Amino acid sequence: MKPEILPPNVLHHFYAGGERIARLRGLTLESDHMPEEWLGAVNTTFDGTRGLSRLEDGTLVRDAIAADPAAWLGDRSDPGLLVKLLDAGQRLPVHFHPGREFARDALDSPYGKTEAWLIVEAEPDASVWVGWTRDVGLDEVRGWMRDQDAAAMLATMHELPVSAGDAIYVPAGTAHAIGAGILMVELQEPTDFSVLLEWEGFDLSEDEGHLNLGWDRALEALDRRAALPPTTTLPPEAETFFRADWLDGDAELDSRFSIVVGLEGNGTLAGIPFGRGTVALVPHGAGTVELRGDVRALRASPGS
Find the CATH number of the domain harbouring 207. 2.60.120.10
Average pLDDT, the chain: 98
Residues 86, 164 within the same domain? yes
Q: What's the pLDDT at 120?
A: 98
Cα→Cα distances 214→105, 140, 145, 207, 209, Å: 15, 18, 14, 8, 9
Residues 155, 261 within the same domain? no
Q: What's the pLDDT at 252?
A: 96
Alpha-carbon distance of 162 to 141, in angstroms, equals 26
Residues 26, 107 within the same domain? yes
Is 266 domain-assigned?
A: yes
268-277 pLDDT per residue, tens: 999 999 999 9
253-267 pLDDT per residue, tens: 999 999 999 999 999
pLDDT > 70: what percent of the chain? 100
Q: What's the pLDDT at 117?
A: 98
Residues 168, 232 within the same domain? yes
Is 3 domain-assigned?
A: no
Residue after which a domain boundary falls, among 195, 214, 238:
238
Give the model's confidence band at 17: pLDDT under 50 very low, under 70 low, under 90 confident, else very high.
very high
Q: What's the pLDDT at 185?
A: 98
Residues 153, 248 within the same domain? no
Residues 261, 140 within the same domain? no
**Which of these, 249, 246, 286, lies nearest to 267 by C-alpha position?**
249
Q: Could you list the residue range(s) of the whole structural domain that residue 297 is in?
A: 242-302
Residues 134, 275 within the same domain? no
Residues 121, 213 within the same domain? yes
What's the one-letter identity of residue 75? D
Is 51 within 8 Å of 2 (Cβ atoms)?
no
Residues 175, 297 within the same domain? no
Alpha-carbon distance of 88 to 185, in angstroms, equals 11
Q: What's the pLDDT at 266?
A: 97
Alpha-carbon distance of 19 to 167, in angstroms, equals 22
Q: What's the pLDDT at 278?
A: 98
Q: What's the pLDDT at 6?
A: 98
Burial of residue 137 (number of CB atoms within 10 Å: 0-12, 13-18, 19+): exposed
The mean per-residue pLDDT over the stretch 171-192 comes to 98
Number of domains into which the chain is organized: 2
The mean per-residue pLDDT over the stretch 191-215 comes to 97
The mean per-residue pLDDT over the stretch 213-227 comes to 98
Is 71 domain-assigned?
A: yes
38-81 pLDDT per residue, tens: 999 999 999 999 999 999 999 999 999 999 999 999 999 999 99
Is 117 within 8 Å of 164 (Cβ atoms)?
no
Burial of residue 79 (number of CB atoms within 10 Å: 0-12, 13-18, 19+): buried
110-152 pLDDT per residue, tens: 999 999 999 999 999 999 999 999 999 999 999 999 999 999 9
Residues 128, 225 within the same domain? yes
The mean per-residue pLDDT over the stretch 12-24 comes to 98
Is 81 domain-assigned?
A: yes
* Global pTM value: 0.97
